[in-house]
Amino acid sequence: MSLAQEHPKEVKQILAKYPPEHKRSAVMPLLYLAQRAEGYITKQAMQDIADTLEISVTDVGAIVGFYTLYHDKKEGKYRMQVCTDLPCALRGADQFMESLCANLGIKVGETTADGLLTLEAVTCLAGCDRAPMFQIQSRAGLKYYEDMTVDKTMELVEALKNAGQEAE
């Protein structure tokens, strides 16, 4: 089923934001919609968006490739994106990240064996005064976690694991 068939209300709302002669503008919000549906952006979704907006699938792929919050591969159910940029690093973000890696048993960029979590290092998230901090990107959207410690983070990971099991 196409995005428009599955989420008719959302697609209509998104298209209504832009002048009808410039519907290409809807590509970014439609990609978010597709990503929330599947957890990542499938080739089919890209084709579907291209057809809806009357642009080529290459144009859609170029957007997916350019912006870092779009993903075209299935990875962890939750993407933990830790800011290791300068202001956070001045407040211990690198040590925080190292310690997270040790606790999770994975390196930056890897996914836990159970497929729960992908750990990523990202650039500034505008949370510099509350470092260490990260965001979690998932099908539910994006959420910030600030003034974090390794203990608090591991508790959160545990909670995410349990929530997943309950849902299944």
Partner 1 sequence: MSHILLRHRDIPEISSLNVYRKNGGFEAFKKAVTKMKPGQVTDLVKASGLRGRGGAGFPTGVKWSFIDNKVWPHYVVANADESEPGTFKDREIMESNPFQFLEGVAIASYAVGANTAYVYLRGEFWQAAQFLDEKIAELEKAGLLGGRLFGTNYSLRIHTHLGAGAYICGEETAMLESIEGKRGQPRIRPPFPAVYGLYGKPTVVNNVETLTNLPMILANGADWYKSLGTPDSAGVKVFSLSGRVRKPGNYELPFGTTFRQLIYDHGGGVQDGRPVKAIMPAGASSSFIVANDQVLDTKMDYASVRTLGADLGSASVIVIDDTVPLDWVIHKTIHFFKHESCGKCTPCREGTYWMMHLIDRIPQSGYLKADVDLLLNVATQMQNKCLCPLGEFSTMAVVTGIERFPQDFRKA
Sign of the alpha-carbon torsion through 116, 92, 108, 31: positive
Cβ pair 88, 132 in contact under 8 A: yes
Cβ–Cβ under 8 Å, residues 48 and 5: no
Q: What is the CA radius of gyration of the chain?
A: 18
Judged by beta carbon, residue 140 or residue 167, the one nearer partner 1 is 140
The residue (of 28 and 154) whose beta carbon lies closer to partner 1 is: 28
Q: How far is the CB of 17 from partner 1 (least distance, A)?
A: 4
Cα–Cα dist 22/157, whole Å: 42
CB of 113 to partner 1, least distance (A): 27
At its nearest, how many Å lie between partner 1 and the CB of residue 32? 7
Beta strand segments in the chain, E:
78-83, 117-122, 134-138, 141-145
Three-class secondary structure of residue 151 per DSSP: helix
Shortest Cβ distance from residue 120 to partner 1 (Å)?
Answer: 11
Least distance in angstroms from the C-beta of 119 to partner 1: 17
Output 144 or 158, the one with its CB closest to partner 1: 144
Task: Give whichever of 8 and 141 is closer to partner 1, judged by the CB atom.
Answer: 141
Contact positions vs partner 1 (CB under 8 A): 17-19, 22, 24-29, 31-32, 53, 55, 59, 62-63, 66-70, 85-87, 89-91, 122-130, 135, 141-144
Hey, is 74 helix, strand or coil? Answer: coil
Give 65 or 115: the residue with its C-beta nearer to partner 1. 65
CA torsion angle 59 49 143 88 (round to 10):
0
